[in-house]
């Protein structure tokens, strides 16, 4: 299986050649999900390399989500699409350009926190850092968030806000409060990859709903509501992850009307709204009684801050807070205090405005660098959705890019319907690059791969 590798064929590191070889075996069907790879020493013997090289190759395969090491079973081939949902941190290898993580592109948050920290101890609320506080979050943090989010939620009521450890945590608490095991959650057929493992962990059925260029199709949602025992409808209405589609007002209202008629609660994942200078009205603002609005600071300020906000009706807020209390008791008071101060001082809005400006510049780099190819994006979106030309497929293109030192996510990582052909596309995260120059270099590499084709890239479909 590994005897045929010619480790002298090019300048690619040998460990990466080994990893690429395994990926090609999976792509060709020679290896399938669940197959066990030979022991590392045996692979080293077959390939004529040392065990350390094989160990690095296995680590690379684990980062790609193709291999898992399981006690008593060795190293097993797994689904990259399923694993991708858990790849939440970028690869920090020297010279490697990882464009798989949506994170802010500027250091505005670091500068603001550095200026704030020396002044925190003089805040009258600082003494409570060492104490317990309500599961739904400190009163003043909820009040600050309620005011800051009023244009999105349609209210300024702190009693309708729950502070969470980011949007994923808010989504978990909301689903726990809304749905019973075995019920369905309806979502776009191509959507945020974190929803699938979360629903699986809660024993909920995630049901894909068809979309067009404008987003989820109302008629497809109506059919799903008729045929499924659905508890919730999951939507990302602004700069949808990964397709960057923003639902227009007519589509939002049509989907909300169908959900209301069917008695289905809408979960509006609105983490990208802050990237839009003049966003449309939210679904929650027009349908507060049936909508849970979720956002966080991860995409627009900093992922390390781990603070999100859930807005819901009073009865649902009680249930969501109860779920939060059970799974983590409460969120960090210190984080809440820092965010409260950033809102009160106007720093949060300045950081976000700086992010939008940077994203606009990076979108220009992306659109210019991939001119002539089908790229779907928006002027201040943090990512782009590249439709691959034939004969490229997501997996083969990702492998070619990785071999050239760039990492992007394949369309299949976001596809919910495993019975349908995966989208031949990749998501490119602009803000993941550490600088504009890094982004230019990564985009140039991706364009070179597209222009070179499969033969030049030496990647088999």
Domain assignments of the chain as residue spans, ordered by start: 1-78, 85-102+350-461, 108-345
Spell out the residues 6+ positions from residue 314 whose beta carbon is closer than 8 angstroms to its own: 159, 160
Mean pLDDT is highest, among 9-13, 61-65, 98-102, 244-248, for 244-248
* pLDDT of amino acid 88: 57
- Where does residue 373 rank: exposed (0-12), middle (13-18), buried (19+ CB within 10 A)? middle
Interior/surface letters 5-22, b for 16+ CB within 10 angstroms, e for the rest: beeeeeeeebbbbbbbbb
Mean pLDDT of the chain: 91
Rounded CA gap, 205 and 199, in Å? 7
pLDDT-derived band at 3, boundaries 50, 70, 90: confident
Q: CA–CA separation, 301 vs 355, rounded Å?
A: 8
Are domains 1-78 and 85-102+350-461 of this chain identical in fold? no
pLDDT value for 1: 80
Q: Which CATH number fits domain 1-78: 3.30.300.350, 1.10.10.10, 2.40.50.140, 1.10.443.10?
A: 1.10.10.10
Query: Is the bond preceding residue 414 a cis peptide, omega within 30 degrees?
Result: no
Three-class SS state of 9: coil
111 — pLDDT class (breaks 50, 70, 90): very high
- Other C-beta atoms closer than 10 Å to the C-beta of 92 total 8
Q: pLDDT tens digits for 18-53?
A: 888 888 888 777 888 778 899 999 999 988 889 888
Question: Is the predicted pLDDT of residue 405 greater than 90, yes or no?
Answer: yes
Instruction: Tell whether omega for the bond before 332 is within 30 degrees of 0, i.e. cis.
Output: no
108-345 architecture in CATH? 3-Layer(aba) Sandwich (3.40)
pLDDT at res. 79:
62
CB 211 within 8 A of CB 190: yes
Give the mean pLDDT of 174-183: 97
Look at residue 386 in the predicted model and tell me its pLDDT.
Answer: 98
Q: Which residues are CB-neighbours of 452 under 8 A, at least 6 positions away?
A: none
pLDDT digits 0-9 by tens, 410-460: 999 999 987 777 899 999 999 999 999 999 999 999 999 999 865 554 444
Please give the Cα distance from 412 to 194 (Å, whole number): 13
Per-residue pLDDT for 8 more than 90?
Answer: no
**How many other CB atoms sit within 10 Å of the CB of residue 346?**
9
* pLDDT(339) > 70: yes
Architecture of the domain spanning 85-102+350-461: Alpha-Beta Complex (3.90)
């Amino acid at each position: 299986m590994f005897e045929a590798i010619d480790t002298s064929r090019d300048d690619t590191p040998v460990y990466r050649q080994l990893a690429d070889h395994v990926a090609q075996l999976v792509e060709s069907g020679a290896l399938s999900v669940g197959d066990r790879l030979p022991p590392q020493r045996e692979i080293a013997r077959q390939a004529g390399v040392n065990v350390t090289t094989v160990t690095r190759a296995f680590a690379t395969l684990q980062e790609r989500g193709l291999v898992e090491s399981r006690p008593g079973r060795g190293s097993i081939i797994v689904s990259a699409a399923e694993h991708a949902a858990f790849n939440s941190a970028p690869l920090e290898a020297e010279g490697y350009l990882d464009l798989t993580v949506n994170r802010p592109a500027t250091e505005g948050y670091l500068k603001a926190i550095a200026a704030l920290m020396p002044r925190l101890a003089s805040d009258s609320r600082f003494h409570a850092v060492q104490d317990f506080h309500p599961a739904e979050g400190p009163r003043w943090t909820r009040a600050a968030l309620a005011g800051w989010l009023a244009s999105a939620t349609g209210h300024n009521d702190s009693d309708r806000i729950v502070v969470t450890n980011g949007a994923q945590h808010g989504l978990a608490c909301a689903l726990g409060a809304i749905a019973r095991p075995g019920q369905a959650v309806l979502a776009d057929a191509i959507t945020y990859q974190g929803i699938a493992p979360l629903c699986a962990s809660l024993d909920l059925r995630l049901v894909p709903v068809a979309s067009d260029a404008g987003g989820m199709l109302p008629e497809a949602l109506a059919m799903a509501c008729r045929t499924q025992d659905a508890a919730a409808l999951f939507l990302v209405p602004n700069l949808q992850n990964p397709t960057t589609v923003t639902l227009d007002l007519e589509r939002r209202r049509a989907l909300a009307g169908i959900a209301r008629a069917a008695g289905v609660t809408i979960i509006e994942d609105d983490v990208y709204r802050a990237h839009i200078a003049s966003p449309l009205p939210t679904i929650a603002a027009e349908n507060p009684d049936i909508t849970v609005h979720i956002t966080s600071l991860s995409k627009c300020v900093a992922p390390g801050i781990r603070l999100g906000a859930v807005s819901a009706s009073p009865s649902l807020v009680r249930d969501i807070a109860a779920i939060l209390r059970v799974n983590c008791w409460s969120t960090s008071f210190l984080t809440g205090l820092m965010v409260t101060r950033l809102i009160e001082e106007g720093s949060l809005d300045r950081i976000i405005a700086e992010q939008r400006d940077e994203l606009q510049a990076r979108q220009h780099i992306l659109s210019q660098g991939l001119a002539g190819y089908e790229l779907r994006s928006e002027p201040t979106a943090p990512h782009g959705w590249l439709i691959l030309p034939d004969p490229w497929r997501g997996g083969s293109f990702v492998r070619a890019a990785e071999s050239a030192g760039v990492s992007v996510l394949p369309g299949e990582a976001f596809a919910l319907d495993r019975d349908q052909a995966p989208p031949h596309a990749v998501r490119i995260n602009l803000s993941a690059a550490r600088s504009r120059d890094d982004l230019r270099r990564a985009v140039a590499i991706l364009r070179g791969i597209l222009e070179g084709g499969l033969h030049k890239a030496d990647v088999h479909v």
